[in-house]
Amino acid sequence: MRTRQTKLFQSDGLTTLLSHYAPGVVMPKHTHDLHQVSWLLVGHLSEDHGADEKQVDQPSIGVKPVGLEHANDYGRHGALILSINIDPDARRYQDAFSFNEWRWTPCAGDGLQTGTTEVLTRLIAARGDEAESAIWDLLALSASGERWTLREVPHWLKQVRDQLSECTAELDLAAMANEAGVHRVHLSRAFTRSFGVPPSVYRARCRIARSITAALHGEPLAMAAQSGGFADQAHLSRQTKRATGLPPRRLIDLLAGE
């Protein structure tokens, strides 16, 4: 299956979903009849809204008001996304949150990603009122932070990103910096400033995305870990839990509806 989706919680006027989009999935222009708040947990996402397009390479929160026309491309590694869909007539959510504009806000570097994964873990374990309390916490987190202002990324830095994204082996960042004509420290600073996470974290997240995709296509977790470039299954488990709050087996079971 190219897309896997499981419902985590539903109440009057609100549905929470965990979705995995396989590499290369493209959704043509469409609209939703619900407001949507989305968390890109792992992977890549390009979202096009008219003349504006955002390339999301880091853990981020996206907000789309009802009726907004947009198209999505889930990139070379696919994407794991948590989303909350809200009925525009559900006033108790409407009064607490603004859906006036399309926007993306980075999670990384300011505690939002940590808070999101902790609340996600609590949401999955909770039921009833406790689950809805976790939803309110997620919506509160989505209102935090600065708006994301896109920076012009130099060509050499895009090349570094692409090499980190595609390579499963360890890369010599000092050699990459030397090839680009910059200092190794400058490379890390520039990368973090442009993409929201350090090079090592970015590479780990790309590996997680590859491994999750491989596991969803039937590979045993040990083999999926190797496909992503991890030393072993334990390494994959540690990194996945750090990025999403859940171990890979739990994610796979959720997306398989188990």
pLDDT tens profile 45-102: 999 987 788 888 778 888 899 999 999 999 888 999 999 999 988 777 666 566 778 8
Q: Which domains does the chain have, with CATH numbers?
A: 3-142 (2.60.120.10), 155-255 (1.10.10.60)
**Of 202, 162, 188, residue with least CA distance to 58:** 202
pLDDT tens profile 153-189: 889 998 998 888 887 677 788 888 888 898 888 888 8
Give pTM, 2 decimals. Answer: 0.82
Distances (CA, A) of 172 to 90, 111, 165, 215, 236: 52, 29, 14, 28, 21
Type and span of the H or E element at 243 = helix 233-244
| pLDDT-based confidence at residue 112 (cuts at 50, 70, 90) | low
